[in-house]
Amino acid sequence: MTSEIILQAIVTGLMMGLIYALIAAGLSLIFGLMEIVNFAHGEHLMLSMFSSFWLWSLFGLDPLFSIPITILLLAFCGILTHYFLIRYILRAKMLIQICATFGLSIFIRSIAQLLWTPDFRNVDKPLLEGRIEVGSVFIGQPQLFASLVCLLAFIGLYLFVTKTETGLALQATAQDRHAAEVLGIPSNKMFAIGWAIGLGCVGVAGGMMANYFFIFTDVGINFALFAFVAVALGGFGSIIGCLYAGVIIGLVESLGGLLIDPSFKLLYVFVIYLLVVIYKPQGLFGRY
């Protein structure tokens, strides 16, 4: 066990962590806005990867260039989700909300399985390929690019939410939707925007990952689990918390896999989750 291997693991974990952070940020935004956990988040990620894949396989569009289309598709999907499902369960009990989004996740995944079979697919010869060597550490180019794009998207999301008028309106709705409505901010529209942006984040992450990740119908489950953990770790509703939490999870996953046993990655993340929610139930940066 040399320091180079550990350094390699740290770099890998960091790059993965940035992607987890963006996926989690979408989840966190939606939760902060209407206190609904989107249990179909992983399935939405799967959809974005498939959208990238099909745009490549049917139209020959490289995942790099199809990103805007993927984002738009996912944002549209978010708006549809809001109008056909979430709108009706806003006032329901938490249990019903969990069941409804859980039902959506089963529905999307099994439809995908029926349409596209559970085969593993990947994008052949994308524009970004190969790896670069920095010192003794190998960095895959698509991975590096994906994590940088995710970081940029994350910063963009953060600036959007904290600086623009729409972002502030979103925050106002998150804090008190009735008071916001009195001030002329239509909460229903805000919720739809929140869903569009939340799933747009997933679109970025999925589209970038399509470059180097296997694409199959169950791909979202693990990412969604890590995103749930990241959201709880960072504090439900805190966007900046997701960044730290995502990176922590990425590092724990890759270092734990290196130092102990790679087949139990999920368990290490689970242990971290338990420790955090037991000792600091509001998460690292939570406001709840």
Partner 1 sequence: MESKLIAAKSEPLWNTNNKVISIVCALVVLLFTLPLFGLNSFYLHLFIMIFMHAVMAQSWNVIAGFSGQISLGHGAFFGIGAYATSFFYMQYGITPWISIFFGMFISGIFAILIGIPMLRLSGHYFAIATLLIGISFQVVFQRWDLVGAASGLWVTMTPEDSWIALQFHSSKVPYYYVFLIFFLITFFVVWLLSRSKLGYRLRAVRDDPQAALSLCINVSNYKIIAYVISAMIMAPMGSLFAQYILIIDPDRVFNIEISIIVLLITVLGGIGNVWGPIIGASILIPISEYSRIYLGGTGGAVDLIFYGLILMIICIFRPNGLISFIPKDILERKKQR
Q: What is the CA radius of gyration of the chain?
A: 19
Q: How far is the CB of 113 from partner 1 (least distance, A)?
A: 5
Q: State which of residues 3, 58, 60, 93 lies at the interface with partner 1 (CB under 8 A).
A: 93
| C-alpha dihedral (83, 85, 90, 95), degrees to nearest 10 | -170
Q: How far is the CB of 76 from partner 1 (least distance, A)?
A: 19
- Determine if 90 is a binding residue for partner 1 (CB under 8 A): no
Q: Distance between the two ends of the chain, CA-based, in angstroms?
A: 42
Which element (helix H / strand E) includes 79?
A: helix 63-81
- Determine if 232 is a binding residue for partner 1 (CB under 8 A): yes
Q: State which of residues 5, 68, 110, 262 lies at the interface with partner 1 (CB under 8 A).
A: 110
Q: Which stretch binds partner 1 (CB under 8 A): 10-18, 67-75, 206-214, 258-266?
A: 258-266
Q: Which stretch binds partner 1 (CB under 8 A): 111-119, 124-132, 154-162, 204-212?
A: 111-119
- Determine if 238 is a binding residue for partner 1 (CB under 8 A): no
Q: Which stretch binds partner 1 (CB under 8 A): 10-18, 123-131, 155-163, 263-271?
A: 263-271
Q: Is 238 left (phi over 0), alpha (psi -120 to 50) or beta?
A: beta
Residue 121 DSSP class: B
- Determine if 120 is a binding residue for partner 1 (CB under 8 A): no
Distance CA 271, CA 142 (A): 30
- Determine if 159 is a binding residue for partner 1 (CB under 8 A): no
Q: How far is the CB of 104 from partner 1 (least distance, A)?
A: 6
Token pair 């498939």 is found at 50
Measured N-to-C along each axis, helices 165-175 and 3-34 cross at an angle, to the nearest 10 degrees, of 70
Q: State which of residues 88, 120, 138, 214 lies at the interface with partner 1 (CB under 8 A).
A: 88
Q: Which stretch binds partner 1 (CB under 8 A): 138-146, 158-166, 168-176, 265-273?
A: 265-273
Measured N-to-C along each axis, helices 239-259 and 141-163 cross at an angle, to the nearest 10 degrees, of 160
- DSSP secondary structure letters along 8-74: HHHHHHHHHHHHHHHHHHHHHHHHHHHS---TTHHHHHHHHHHHHHHHHHHH---HHHHHHHHHHHH
Residue ranges that bind partner 1, judged by CB under 8 A: 31, 37, 85, 88-89, 92-100, 102-111, 113-114, 117-118, 225, 228-229, 232, 236, 263-264, 266-267, 270, 273-274, 277-278, 281
